[in-house]
């Protein structure tokens, strides 16, 4: 079978290294090397810069080039232990915490990298823990530490912009190492420290380096645990204060809180393999599609914080509210509520007008019906799944829903209850102004608006049933017995049959535009070709081949188990990876079809 391709993977290549990934809402650790456990980059969000801020050992960090930012270093009786040579086996605790085991002679090394998460652990930082067991018959002198190089700092909206000032590493009181730039004022700094007394050594250069080392004696049969902290702040004093808080609270308490909080996010279908698919992608969407900015501590929805995601930390209403928020809602309804209101605050002034910077500034104009309707859609789904209808009393949401209603009304055809758009969800100019998927979503939104606006305004809302009837009437092509649905029309007899991969006809049952069992829908689904787009494969969960699709997704390798826009026939990622919003859609769609339709592989 040959897949139709609508993306060029070469334009957004995957990393050559199969990175381990973790993080929290403050700090992302997207590049943990599987060979030696080295951290090659730390990422943050900065509202003032409208971008991600990333610290790395070298400019080529995404491809694993150059030295690491923070690498675990182990010496036994003065001899270095190379984890890569000894062999290192990775697991993911709770689908999100990278853990490894390595055996070097008589020494067993176990490591865990985590970013604290949960009540009383919501910190802009990360912890690297190393546990050692001496299985030998004599004591050994053990040196353990973190070493690294600050060789690159960058701002990134979609493409990286290197910092123009010099890199700086300095030692603060208590064995704390500060990483930042020399420019004043700076926008971010990192602080690193051991959990206890340690030796600090610095090397000054254009790419300065550091080493934090602890020395101890490990007797025969004994075990020990060591930890190192990485903290972030908007400037060096804040980073130093944060690492002090982490030291005071202690890594064991932070890890316990984090594990307990991650357990609360987990979803269950009764099938371990599906649970792994759902929870892995849910966690990625939860922590990489949502972030807190270092300079104002507010939440922001972004396409992805992964530095190899082609769409960067820009955001569009539809992906934020219809892909990321539903996944977050599965695990954390209070946060989903806050994100809906936050999206209204930042982007609701112009629903559906295009792509935005994370702070709401317009990045790329291009009106979509789906984006305009997404605020009403997200509100309706939130109320249905949580029962919290008081959200509509929030003034910012009410203002956004009224703006949505007005903007949709301005897009209605004068004669027919259908609505026109400018671009498709696949970012292409609409071949015909009236799109099938866009109008199905509008009908769903009109239902929601009729229940959430005040009585006078609701009376002027177009009847959603009339829109759905118009879909069958104006988008059906072919003889009655063999009719299928076109992707778009001009309402004057012209139809476009080329399905939008993102706004596919396959999604219509999700938006209650048509029943899954309807023969018109089933014929349309069977007509659509297989493509390399994962989003369209996910949409087939609603079609006649749902069971086969679920099995395909269950075993698809993707990219380290995470969604990528372009995949091959077996589901291996080809390009456009690191897409946190798409991971949210994958997690939610699998969960939804299993629970709502009783779907099984």
**What DSSP letter does each residue of 122-179 carry, written as one string?**
--SEEEEEEEEEE-SSS-EEEEEEEEEE--EEEEESSSEEE--SPEEEEEETTTEEEE
SS3 assignment, position 530: coil
Tokens of 83: 């984890």
Judged on CB neighbours under 10 Å (0-12, 13-18, 19+), 100 is buried
Strands of 434-435's sheet in order across: 434-435, 488-489, 495-496
pLDDT confidence of residue 3: 59
Q: According to the model, what pLDDT value does residue 87 have?
A: 87
Residue 131 buriedness (CB in 10 A; 0-12 / 13-18 / 19+): middle
pLDDT score at 4 = 63
185 preceded by a cis bond (ω within 30 of 0): yes
The pair of structure tokens assigned to 230 is 């990485």
- Put residue 386 in one of left, alpha, beta given phi > 0 → left and psi -120 to 50 → alpha: alpha
Q: What is the SS3 assignment for 226?
A: strand
Q: Which helix (H) or strand (E) holds 442?
A: helix 436-452
What token pair was written down for 441?
């979503």
* Six token digits for residue 490: 């001009």
φ/ψ region of 222 (left if φ > 0, alpha if ψ in -120 to 50, else beta) reads beta
Q: Cα–Cα distance between 363 and 315 in angstroms, integer?
A: 9
Q: How many contiguous H segments (helices) and E segments (strands) does the chain have? A: 16, 31
Q: What is the pTM of this model?
A: 0.96
CB within 8 Å of 597: residues ≥ 6 apart:
516, 546
Task: Please tell me the predicted confidence (pLDDT) of residue 1.
Answer: 47
C-alpha distances (whole Å) from 200 to each of 172, 193, 240 are 10, 9, 15
**Cα 71 from Cα 145, distance rounded (Å):** 8
Q: How many Å apart are CA 8 and CA 12, to the nearest integer?
A: 8
Q: Which helix (H) or strand (E) holds 390?
A: none
- Residue 576 CA to residue 308 CA, distance in Å, equals 8
Average pLDDT for runs of 10 along the chain of length 601: 68 95 98 97 98 98 98 96 89 97 95 96 97 96 98 98 97 97 95 97 96 97 97 98 98 98 96 96 98 97 98 98 98 98 96 97 97 98 96 96 96 97 95 97 97 92 97 93 95 95 97 96 95 96 96 96 97 97 98 94 83
Strand-pairing partners, residue 299, are: 292
Q: How far apart are CA 349 and CA 364, in angstroms?
A: 15
- Lookup: tokens for 21: 């990934």
Residue 159: is it exposed, middle or buried by C-beta count within 10 angstroms (0-12/13-18/19+)? exposed
Bridge partners of 481, per DSSP, are: none
Residue 478, sorted as left (phi over 0), alpha (psi -120 to 50) or beta, turns out to be: left
Q: pLDDT at position 10, please?
A: 82
| DSSP code per residue over 484-529 | EE-SEE-SSS-EE----SSS-GGGGGGGTSS-TT-HHHHHHHHHSP
Q: CA 58: distance to chain centroid?
A: 24
| Three-state secondary structure call for residue 218 | strand
Burial 523-549 (b: 16+ CB within 10 A, else e): bbbeebeebbbbbbbbbbbbbeebeeb
What are residue 531's phi and psi, to 5 degrees?
A: -130, 175
CB 179 within 8 A of CB 169: yes
- Residues 83, 74: Cα–Cα separation, whole Å: 9
Q: Which two tokens stand for residue 121?
A: 């652990």
For residues 463 and 213, give the distance between their C-alpha atoms in angstroms, rounded to a whole number.
69
Q: How many CA atoms lie within 13 A of 195 on its CB side?
A: 21
| 3-state secondary structure (DSSP) of residue 213 | strand
The two structure tokens encoding residue 510: 């999700």
| C-beta of residue 17 within 8 angstroms of C-beta of residue 63 | yes
φ and ψ at 472, to 5 degrees? -65, -40
DSSP 232-297: EESSHHHHHHHHHHHHHH-HHHHHHHHHHHHHHH----S-HHHHHHHHHHHHHHHHHSEEEBTTT-
What is the torsional sign of CA 470, 456, 420, 312? negative
Structure tokens at 530: 């297989």
Q: Is 166 exposed, middle or buried (0-12, 13-18, 19+ CB in 10 A)?
A: exposed
pLDDT of residue 161: 97
């Amino acid at each position: 079978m040959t897949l139709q391709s609508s993306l060029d993977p070469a334009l957004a290549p995957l990393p050559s290294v199969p990175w381990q990934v973790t993080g929290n809402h403050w700090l992302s650790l997207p590049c943990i090397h599987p060979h030696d456990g080295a951290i090659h980059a730390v990422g943050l969000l900065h509202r003032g810069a409208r971008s991600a801020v990333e610290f790395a050992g070298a400019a080529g960090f995404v491809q694993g080039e150059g030295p690491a930012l923070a690498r675990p270093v182990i010496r036994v009786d003065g001899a270095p232990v190379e984890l890569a040579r000894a062999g290192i086996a990775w697991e993911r605790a709770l689908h999100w915490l990278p853990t490894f085991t390595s055996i070097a002679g008589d020494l067993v090394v176990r490591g865990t990298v985590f970013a604290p998460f949960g009540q009383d652990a919501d910190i802009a930082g990360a912890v690297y823990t190393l546990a050692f067991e001496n299985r030998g018959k004599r004591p050994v002198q053990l040196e353990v530490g973190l070493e690294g190089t600050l060789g690159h700092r960058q701002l990134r909206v979609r493409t990286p912009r290197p910092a123009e000032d010099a890199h700086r590493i300095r030692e603060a009181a208590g064995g704390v190492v500060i990483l930042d730039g020399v420019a004043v004022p700076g926008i971010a700094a990192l602080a690193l420290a051991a959990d206890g007394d340690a030796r600090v050594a610095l090397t000054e250069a254009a790419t300065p380096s550091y080493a934090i080392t602890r020395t101890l004696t490990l007797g025969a049969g004994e075990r020990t645990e060591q930890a190192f902290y990485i903290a972030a702040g908007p400037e060096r004093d804040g980073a130093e204060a944060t690492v002090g808080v982490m030291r005071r609270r202690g890594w064991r308490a932070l890890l316990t809180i984090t594990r307990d909080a991650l357990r609360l996010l987990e979803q269950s279908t009764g099938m371990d393999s599906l649970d792994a698919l759902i929870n892995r992608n849910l966690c990625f969407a939860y922590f990489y599609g949502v972030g807190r900015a270092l300079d104002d501590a507010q939440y922001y929805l972004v396409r992805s914080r992964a530095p190899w995601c082609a769409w960067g930390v820009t955001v569009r209403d539809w992906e934020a509210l219809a892909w990321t928020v539903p996944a977050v809602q599965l695990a954390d309804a209070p946060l989903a509520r806050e994100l809906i209101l936050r999206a209204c605050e930042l982007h609701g002034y112009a629903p559906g007008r295009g792509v935005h910077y994370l702070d709401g500034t317009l990045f790329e104009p291009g009106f979509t019906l789906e984006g305009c309707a997404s605020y009403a859609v997200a509100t309706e789904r939130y109320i249905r799944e949580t029962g919290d209808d008081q959200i509509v009393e929030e003034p910012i949401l009410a203002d956004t829903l009224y703006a949505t209603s007005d903007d949709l009304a301005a897009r209605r055809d004068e004669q027919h209850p259908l609505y026109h758009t400018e671009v498709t969800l696949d970012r292409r100019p609409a071949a015909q102004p009236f799109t099938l998927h866009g109008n199905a979503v509008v009908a769903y939104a009109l239902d929601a608006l009729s229940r959430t606006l005040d009585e006078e305004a609701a009376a002027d809302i177009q009847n959603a049933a009339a829109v759905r009837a118009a879909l069958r009437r104006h988008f059906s092509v072919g003889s009655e017995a063999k009719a299928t649905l076109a992707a778009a029309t001009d309402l004057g007899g012209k139809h476009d049959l080329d399905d939008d991969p993102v706004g596919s006809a396959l999604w219509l049952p999700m938006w209650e535009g048509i029943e899954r069992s309807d023969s018109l829908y089933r014929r349309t689904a069977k007509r659509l070709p297989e493509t390399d787009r994962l989003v369209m494969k996910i949409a087939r969960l609603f079609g006649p081949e749902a069971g086969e699709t679920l099995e395909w997704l269950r075993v698809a390798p993707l990219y380290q188990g995470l969604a990528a826009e372009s995949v091959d026939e077996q589901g291996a990622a080809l390009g456009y990876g690191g897409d946190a919003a798409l991971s949210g859609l994958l997690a939610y769609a699998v969960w939804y079809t299993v629970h709502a339709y009783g779907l099984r592989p």
